[in-house]
Amino acid sequence: MKYYLLTLGCQMNHSDSERVKRVLEGMGYQECDKEKDANVIGILACSVRQKAIDKVYSKIAEWNKRKQSHNLITFISGCILPTDKEQFLKLFDMVFAMRELPQFPQMLSQYGITTPSGLVNENLNPKEEINFFWKVKPKYNSSFEAFIPIQNGCDKFCSFCAVPYTRGREVSRPSKEILEEVKGLVAKGYKSITLLGQNVNSYGLDKKGGEISFAQLLEAIGQIGESTKNLFWVYFTSPHPRDMNREVIEVIARYKCLANQIHLPLQSGDDKVLIKMNRKHSLKKYRESVDAVRELLPEATLFTDIIVGFSGESEEQFQNTRKAFKEFQYNMAYIAMYSKRPGAAAYSWDDDVDATIKKQRFELLTEDLAAGSLNYNKQLLNSEFTLLVRDSDRKKGYLTGHTEGKLIVRFQSDDLNLIGEFVKIKISSAAKFSLEGELVAADKFQDKLEV
């Protein structure tokens, strides 16, 4: 019996898919890479973007047609808005919230006898159910980089975002479990570990003193790093600027395994737009965090997320975002042109910035980013870096990887055994968003590498 799983959306869904796979394989199903070979097909959906929802509808229409000649069971989980859920119940054999995953084998084995919703344990509240979900051991998609969910849901209610409605309120995973998962991965030689959550640095706040803080969690992970010879880098995404504090940055500065890379979403460089976005922080508050990063982590790279053309964004407000870009000198920014997201508060507001203006703003900001990034990258020429080799590069005969700061570097080598290993690289040329280097040492004994 085979299964095929289609995962849409963000890293959180991709992390969840590792647990879904483990449950299916625990039931004896084998993963296949072609939909046509599968007996069970599932989607981890993303209701946040209309494009992803359109894809769900087109896929299920195709699969339901195939049911006429094949024995096929379909399911859907992930980020689903209540309005979409009603439609999906009519189209899929099973619809369940990710926190109900531990009950999935029961649903699947009894499929056709009992409706899935009837099997949900009504004695458990959603917060208790997510704790059961986290106990499911994931089937990691990679042998050297892993994502660890530390928190689920969001209390922030940004006006452009539907996540609080699809994933519910913030719930922190018990720190004991997180630390065990980190220890297990480090013992297996994992090199890159990313702590995942909608607001990772709000970690523990929902437990009101009953759980350690995010800074304390990082401290405990830092100590795991100190107790082993294995080199690994720990990242986290995404923190919320409102809950960012100096203590978190001080902890990162103390421990070698906590990576010198900060991804701090700004979304807009204008205070009035930030208020309209309901971001709950000002540019001044954001600046304090960036100043602390520059002071305590001078080597750190800085990434961000930006939305251009949000409802009512004026030219002057956009120019304030450009000014913020200049001031904060990002290495990378994920820039999105605003589009209404079903379920979000701003869905009913006018999407009144013309599409051509949005495109112009997107291009201007991308140019600003490219100029800043190129300038930064040029200063790295002839410097040596430790690189985690991740894959073959598009350029034939080259491999690609990233530095601790997640700067992409490619180098000439066709030794595929290096994928998943640390190597030492000397930067030989710099481009806008990438670097090229020469292999200095491909020694796989990582404790010989300087970090």
Q: In 238-279, where do the E strands start and end?
A: 261-263
Nearer residue to ligand SF4 within complex by CB, 11 or 117: 11
Query: Hey, what long-range contacts does 390-393 have (CB within 8 A, 24 or more apart)?
Result: 390/145, 390/419, 390/420, 391/419, 392/416, 392/419
Please report whether residue 304 would count as binding ligand SF4 according to CB under 6 A. no
Please report whether residue 171 would count as binding ligand SF4 according to CB under 6 A. no
Nearer residue to ligand SF4 within complex by CB, 154 or 293: 154
CB of 104 to ligand SF4, least distance (A): 25
Please report whether residue 266 would count as binding ligand SF4 according to CB under 6 A. no
Nearer residue to ligand SF4 within complex by CB, 21 or 240: 240
CB of 336 to ligand SF4, least distance (A): 11
Q: Are 116 and 76 in contact (CB under 8 A)?
A: no
Please report whether residue 346 would count as binding ligand SF4 according to CB under 6 A. no
Nearer residue to ligand SF4 within complex by CB, 256 or 285: 285
Give the x/- contact pattern for ligand SF4 in 131-160, rule: CB under 6 A.
Answer: -----------------------x-xxx--
Nearer residue to ligand SF4 within complex by CB, 119 or 163: 163
Nearer residue to ligand SF4 within complex by CB, 99 or 240: 240
Hey, how many other C-beta atoms are within 10 angstroms of the C-beta on 86? Answer: 11
CB of 334 to ligand SF4, least distance (A): 12
CB of 153 to ligand SF4, least distance (A): 8
Give the 3-state secondary structure of residue 110. Answer: coil
Tokens 């990576």, residue? 259
Please report whether residue 199 would count as binding ligand SF4 according to CB under 6 A. yes
Site for ligand SF4, residues 238 to 257, rule: CB under 6 A: 240
Among 310, 305, 374, 362, which residue's Cα sits nearest to residue 340? 310
Please report whether residue 164 would count as binding ligand SF4 according to CB under 6 A. yes
CB of 416 to ligand SF4, least distance (A): 37
Nearer residue to ligand SF4 within complex by CB, 160 or 411: 160
Give DSSP secondary structure letters for 157-206: --TT--HHHHH-S-EEPPHHHHHHHHHHHHHTT--EEEEE-TTGGGTTGG
CB of 338 to ligand SF4, least distance (A): 13
CB of 265 to ligand SF4, least distance (A): 7
Cβ contacts of residue 301 below 8 Å, gap of 6+? 260, 261, 262, 331, 332, 405, 406, 407
Which of 46, 80, 119, 163: binder of ligand SF4 (CB under 6 A)?
A: 163
| SS3 letters across 193-238 | EEEECCCHHHCCHHHCCCCCCHHHHHHHHHHHHHCCCCCCEEEEEC
The DSSP output letter for 380 is T
Nearer residue to ligand SF4 within complex by CB, 304 or 413: 304
Please report whether residue 198 would count as binding ligand SF4 according to CB under 6 A. yes
Q: Contacts with ligand SF4: how many residues (CB under 6 A)? A: 10
Q: Is residue 268 reached through a cis peptide bond, with omega within 30 degrees of 0 on the bond before it?
A: no
* Encoded amino acid at 85, one letter: K
Furthest-apart CA pair in the chain: how many Å? 67
Please report whether residue 276 would count as binding ligand SF4 according to CB under 6 A. no
Dihedral over alpha carbons 115, 118, 119, 121 (to 10 degrees): 160
Nearer residue to ligand SF4 within complex by CB, 160 or 328: 160
Calpha distance 412→397 (Å, rounded): 6
* Encoded amino acid at 144, one letter: F
CB of 202 to ligand SF4, least distance (A): 9
Nearer residue to ligand SF4 within complex by CB, 281 or 390: 281
Sheet holding 233-237, edge to edge: 145-149, 192-196, 233-237
Q: Which token pair is 424?
A: 């030492």
CB of 164 to ligand SF4, least distance (A): 5
**Which residues in this chain contact ligand SF4 in the complex, by CB under 6 A?**
154, 156-158, 161, 163-164, 198-199, 240
